[in-house]
Amino acid sequence: MKKLILVFALITLCVFALNIAAVAADKVVIYASVDEGNAKKILDAFSAQTGITAEFVHLSSGPAMARITAEANNPQADVWLGAPSENHVVLKEEGLTIPYISAAMEKLDPSFKDPDGYWRSFYMNPMALCINTEALKKAGATKPVSWQDLLKPEYKDLIQMPTPQSSGTAYAIITTLVAVMGEDEAFEYMKKLNPNVQTYTSSGTGPSKGVAVGQAAIGIQFTPAFFEFIDQGYPLEVIFPSEGVGFEAPAVSIIKGAKNIESAKILIDWLVSKDGQDVLSKEKTYFYPVIPEAELSKGMPAFSELKTIVVDKQWAGENKKRLVDRWVNEVLPAK
């Protein structure tokens, strides 16, 4: 009888464990630093294809990192989705994320993944300028074609760009300029640019909204929102500065202590699968895929045709605080 009771108890325990696992695979909680509209498109498609509920909170990269750090002893999210990969390098070094290597990750180019499996990129986009042709004409200003052009007095108070205090996109602008000019020269450039900057937006996609409605004549950020507004009929033109442009490769990481670990792994693998990558074009995110067999949205120039500058992600991650602090101390006061 005792043996029967023990067997029954073990069976009950196994069934209970399976039920817990099933529940765990039904949901994943995400801090999304992808712009909110596109985060919803991607995660809705994920839920539709997998049956897993994706709950997300939209946070810019700075606030997301702060929250993940503050919640280290009791994580409230399973996955951090988006923000340039150097931010994920920082969280890896601080012990706030965990490694996950699968067959899906092994197919990615080395530039799109951490060799230890802590993060992987799931899309990429180039930096660019975007002009509102009507606003620029109204201001009597010519079309800029280079980074140096933006220093011209004719662009006084016509430019919007994000602030690195809260935006990973803005930090990518800094690292791009450092790669193009050298660090000291880049900071001198940004100081000289200040009179022409109308406002530093808190969000990385803020400039696209300002330039779309003509509040600003020129915006600086990554391309997706620019292409989207053009598709909607706004009088915009995307310009890739002649000196070259950096590009973002936003990443995804699993947060240490994730409560829905299996669902998190399924999401990670789906994002870099053919199905997940094709969602980028099907749902009009205007993101560039990271696997060559995925579809590219209509009207977007091939990534290979652009003059791009590779920024070392490890260096960018290790120097993020120092360079942002330098911007705050040297560039912002010049405004």
Contact 68, 19 (CB under 8 A): no
Please give the pLDDT value at position 295. Answer: 86
What average pLDDT score do residues 102-117 get?
Answer: 91
pLDDT surpassing 60 at residue 9:
no
d(CA 190, CA 112): 29
Instruction: Give the pLDDT confidence of 223-248 residue by residue, as tens digits.
Output: 999 999 999 999 999 999 999 999 98
CA dihedral 174, 177, 179, 185 (to 10 degrees): -110
Query: Residue 324: left if φ>0, alpha if ψ -120 to 50, beta else—which one?
Result: alpha
For residue 88 the two structure tokens come to 């994920």
- How is residue 149 annotated by DSSP? G
What average pLDDT score do residues 8-22 get?
Answer: 40
Please give the pLDDT value at position 10. Answer: 42
Percent share of the chain, pLDDT over 70:
92
Cα angle: 301, vertex 303, 304; to 5 degrees: 110
Pairing relationship of beta strands 251-255 and 97-98 according to DSSP bridges: antiparallel
Strand partners, 55: 29
d(CA 55, CA 206): 24
Instruction: Give the pLDDT confidence of 176-218 residue by residue, as tens digits.
Output: 999 999 999 999 999 999 999 999 999 989 999 999 999 999 9
pLDDT surpassing 50 at residue 17:
no
What average pLDDT score do residues 46-73 get?
Answer: 96
Residue 15: pLDDT band with limits 50, 70, 90: very low
Same fold, 2-124+249-300 and 126-248+308-331: yes
Cα angle: 307, vertex 312, 318; to 5 degrees: 145
What is the CATH T-level fold of the domain 126-248+308-331, as seen in this structure?
D-Maltodextrin-Binding Protein; domain 2 (3.40.190)
Please give the pLDDT value at position 25. Answer: 58
pLDDT surpassing 50 at residue 146:
yes
Contact 188, 321 (CB under 8 A): no
What predicted TM-score, i.e. pTM, was given to this entire model?
Answer: 0.73
Please give the pLDDT value at position 299. Answer: 74
Contacts of 231 (CB under 8 A, 6+ apart): 284, 286, 299
Please give the pLDDT value at position 334. Answer: 73
Beta-carbon neighbour count of residue 11 at 10 Å? 10
Residue 61: pLDDT band with limits 50, 70, 90: confident
> Which superfamily does 2-124+249-300 belong to?
Periplasmic binding protein-like II (3.40.190.10)
What average pLDDT score do residues 268-285 get?
Answer: 96
What average pLDDT score do residues 30-51 get?
Answer: 96
Instruction: Give the pLDDT confidence of 281-330 residue by residue, as tens digits.
Output: 999 999 989 998 898 887 788 877 889 898 888 898 889 999 999 999 99
d(CA 21, CA 39): 26
Q: The tokens 């765990």 sit on which residue?
A: 24
Domain boundaries, the chain: 2-124+249-300, 126-248+308-331
- Alpha helices, DSSP H, located in 182-292: 183-193, 206-212, 224-231, 261-271, 274-282
Please give the pLDDT value at position 85. Answer: 87
